[in-house]
Amino acid sequence: MPVELPLPKSLRQARWKVKIQEKESREPPHVSILRRTDKWRINLRTREFMNAEPDSNDVPDELLDVLRQNWSWLCRQWDSMYPDNPVVGEE
């Protein structure tokens, strides 16, 4: 089952979503940030954006703060979905 991080109302109303989706076992551990047709991925090991596009500056600081506050929880969720590709592993 996918994991969706609960977000404050203001972010939800602006259509932001943070998810760990299925079928991503071959990728480095990451969370997906979704807003309308855009998608950003942040590596759970390095805390860095994984793709050059879309512009990472378009992700609001408020959302990045929520991610930081829930980092350990997100890492645990990834590990439970992908036990063969845990966050603490080879970079």
Would you tell me which residues interact with another protein (CB under 8 A)?
A: 1-2, 17, 19, 21-27, 32, 34, 36-39, 48-49, 51-53, 55-57, 79-84
Q: Which is nearer to another protein, 66 or 82 (CB)?
A: 82
| Distance set, CA 27 to CA 8, 51, 62, 72, 82 (Å) | 28, 12, 26, 19, 10
Tell the smallest beta-carbon distance from residue 78 to another protein (Å): 9
Tell the smallest beta-carbon distance from residue 48 to another protein (Å): 8
Residues 6+ positions from 46 with CB-CB distance below 8 Å: 91
Q: Which is nearer to another protein, 71 or 79 (CB)?
A: 79
Q: Are 74 and 67 in contact (CB under 8 A)?
A: yes
